[in-house]
Amino acid sequence: MSDSNDRKVLLRVENVTKKFGSVVALENVTFDMVENEIVGLVGDNGAGKSTLVKIISGNFPPDAGNLYFDGHKVNFKSPSDARKLGIETVYQDLAICDNLDAVSNLFIGREVYRNMLGFKVLNKRLMASTSASVFDRIGINMPAAREKVEHFSGGQRQAVALGRFVAWGKRLALLDEPTAAIGIRETSKILNLIKTSKENNVGVIIISHNLQQVFEIVDRIIVLRHGKVVGIREKKNTNPDEIVSLITGAIFVQNPTY
């Protein structure tokens, strides 16, 4: 699969629908994203953004529709299935374990072991040094490596979650409000990391209510309203006023894509 510019389609979402009881969270959502692309996913609260991300990341199965990744139809049974293909997710609720330290949270499900007298033991030194390098790239000072996350500030907790994107995002990163709990300096660092993901052949879908940040880093913007795609815009062909109008329903278009 390739787009008109011969860039390979990384992810295709095709007629995806998701219901929770009588509530239709997503209805016939369809879009493509190509390799190395940064896509902003925007919409009001309840528009279906987080539900869509959770379907792409393997947390929810769609009730209808299909997902294609790297040209192949995929049917994720769990987030681990998505991670095996290089899809890493940073959730709005962070999904970190308060009773573990930063290193353990970063490596959860990816622990590194070494052989000692025929037994597998955690390679704590390697995990700690790798974690220090990751958090240094993010640019947020962390407490002692073995201090439990429950004692961290909001920004430090956010850094732990973002560390997974930096360390493990190989093909596609799904970021749900990644700068919500951090300051201006740290936000600038994170936005730069997202922008440079192109150099590492990593595509990004970012959910954000901050349109200034969205316009700073994305290539295209997908607008959801009441679970439907109401607009897909190249950043160069739109402006914040139009995006706000699509979010609020102030303008209606029968063909949402250009």
pLDDT of residue 255: 55
Ramachandran quadrant class, 43 (left: phi over 0; alpha: psi -120 to 50; beta: rest): left
pLDDT of residue 27: 97
pLDDT of residue 3: 52
Q: Flag residues of the chain having pLDDT under 50.
A: 2, 4
pLDDT of residue 4: 45
pLDDT of residue 196: 82
Residue ranges of domains in the chain: 99-168
pLDDT of residue 256: 63
pLDDT of residue 2: 46
